[in-house]
């Protein structure tokens, strides 16, 4: 499926915590379910989360999410206990998808 320049693109990265490896995922809007895409658009339109901030402690997981749409990009950073409420479910969905992708890569 061809993508439009206005399509949503998400870069997800989880670091820290118990795992020495980063967990990463790149997702285009057409890879998301309609509900996930609508959720991201609604969450970002309602009250944009704060931009990337300071590093969190090494024993805590850190999430970095870059949202691109057209020529605009915004990176958000938060610790596992600081995920904005409006993004909590969406971040967990990306995290599960990234974990599934990592498991599949290890099987190969």
- Cα within 13 Å of Cα(40), Cβ side: 25
CA 108/CA 91 separation, integer angstroms: 26
Please determine, for residue 100, whether its predicted confidence score (pLDDT) is greater than 90. Answer: yes
Nearest CA to 65 out of 4, 8, 11, 15 is that of: 11
pLDDT digits over 26-55, tens only? 999 998 888 888 888 877 776 556 655 555
What is the model's pLDDT at position 98?
93
Query: Average pLDDT for residues 47-72, to the nearest whole number?
Result: 74
pTM of the shown model: 0.79
Q: Which two tokens stand for residue 50?
A: 């704060």
Q: Domain spans of the chain?
A: 8-107
The DSSP code for 16 is E
């Amino acid at each position: 499926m061809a993508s439009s320049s206005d399509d949503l693109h998400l870069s997800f990265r989880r670091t820290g915590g118990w795992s020495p490896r980063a967990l990463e995922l790149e997702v285009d809007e057409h890879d998301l379910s309609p509900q996930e895409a609508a959720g991201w658009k609604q969450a970002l339109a309602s009250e944009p989360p704060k931009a990337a901030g300071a590093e969190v402690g090494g024993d805590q997981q850190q999430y970095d999410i870059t949202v691109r749409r057209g020529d605009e990009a915004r990176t958000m950073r938060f610790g596992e206990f600081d995920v904005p409420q409006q993004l909590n479910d969406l971040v967990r969905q990306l995290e599960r998808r990234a974990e599934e992708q990592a498991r599949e890569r290890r099987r190969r």
